[in-house]
Amino acid sequence: MKKIGVLTSGGDAPGMNAAVRAVVRKAIFHGMEVAGIYHGYQGLINGNIENLDVGDVGDIIQRGGTMLHSARCLEFKTEEGQRKAISQLKEHGIEGLVVIGGDGSYRGALALSKLGFPSVGVPGTIDNDIPGTDYTIGFDTALNTIIESIDKIRDTATSHERSFIIEVMGRDAGDLALWAGLAGGAETILIPEVPSDIDGLVRRLEQGYERGKKHSIIIVAEGVMSAGELATLLKEKADIETRVSVLGHIQRGGSPTGRDRVLASQLGAKAVEVLMEDRGGVAIGIRNHQVVDYELSEAFNKAHKAELSMYTLSQELSI
């Protein structure tokens, strides 16, 4: 391939910039040209495309968000939209595409590959919910942002002897809640992968109060219910007062951690290697510390699994 394109799509994630930089520089190092496609699939359909040089991706490895911007695009879900996208790619002399995003973005990359345009998916989402890779780019940074918030909330929870419910992102996956809860020493973690036992939670809180424990941190994944709903349930069931904190979009921002920058660099570079071999319909990931590539369709055939041994451990450690 002489020229490839790169875009970021779906929810932004810290480390996307580092991945874009890796794609651009790896490709240029190997004698290819690179086009940056702005505003995700919408920008692709609209021809929002510009060549990127080595210097264009300078000073971005440390920045959160994505310099290529991200967007959601309904038109691209139709075959007509996808064909428009392919004609734009061809018009710009682009022969392969790297898509950095979450599972919706992967479906788009798979659709392009099925229509004969080689596309490769790089996992960029804080949710860590893409099957086939142990980690996604952005997860580690979001995790650390949440931990920092838990630590701060714990200070006020202890001082005022209050129980807090902290709602964290993750869509249908409990990874962020589970990892952050374990790392933040939360007393209770509710994740979508484990049926919520609200009566059990009430009992644990009441036993804690009887022992003189006056504060508690409860982490609830957004895929279970909102923190407000849980607070209402506890109030109605057992007259338990809690304070609610919804962390929201701060979880998606910030300078990427070292782990996310390294992961993004490795996975972005691997995507270019795959395109250099004229392969498409491929996803890039990391398994057991090894960078791997696998069929994009595999990302949809399997379900993402949270590390449930960590759930058990969190219960054992929060007695």
Annotated binding site for ATP: 11, 72-73, 102-105
- Select from 34, 53, 57, 37 the least CA-distant residue to 45: 37
The residue (of 72 and 83) whose beta carbon lies closer to ligand ATP is 72
Ranges within 22-41 binding ligand ATP (CB under 6 A) = 41
Ranges within 58-87 binding ligand ATP (CB under 6 A) = 72-73, 76-77
Minimal distance in Å, beta carbon 108 to ligand ATP? Answer: 3
User: Rounded distance, CA 53 to CA 302, Å?
Assistant: 37
> Is residue 170 involved in binding ligand ATP (CB under 6 A)?
no
The catalytic residues are 127
> Is residue 280 involved in binding ligand ATP (CB under 6 A)?
no
- Select from 114, 109, 113 the least CA-distant residue to 124: 109
Minimal distance in Å, beta carbon 125 to ligand ATP? Answer: 4
Q: Left (φ > 0), alpha (ψ -120 to 50) or beta: where does 15 sit?
A: left
Ranges within 93-112 binding ligand ATP (CB under 6 A) = 101-105, 107-108, 111
> Is residue 175 involved in binding ligand ATP (CB under 6 A)?
no
DSSP reduced 3-state for 210: helix
| H-assigned helices in the chain | 16-29, 40-46, 79-91, 103-114, 139-160, 175-183, 198-210, 227-238, 258-276, 298-301, 308-317
> Is residue 163 involved in binding ligand ATP (CB under 6 A)?
no
> Is residue 253 involved in binding ligand ATP (CB under 6 A)?
no
> Is residue 114 involved in binding ligand ATP (CB under 6 A)?
no
- Select from 214, 128, 232 the least CA-distant residue to 177: 128
Q: Which residues bind ligand ATP (CB under 6 A)?
A: 9-11, 41, 72-73, 76-77, 101-105, 107-108, 111, 125, 127
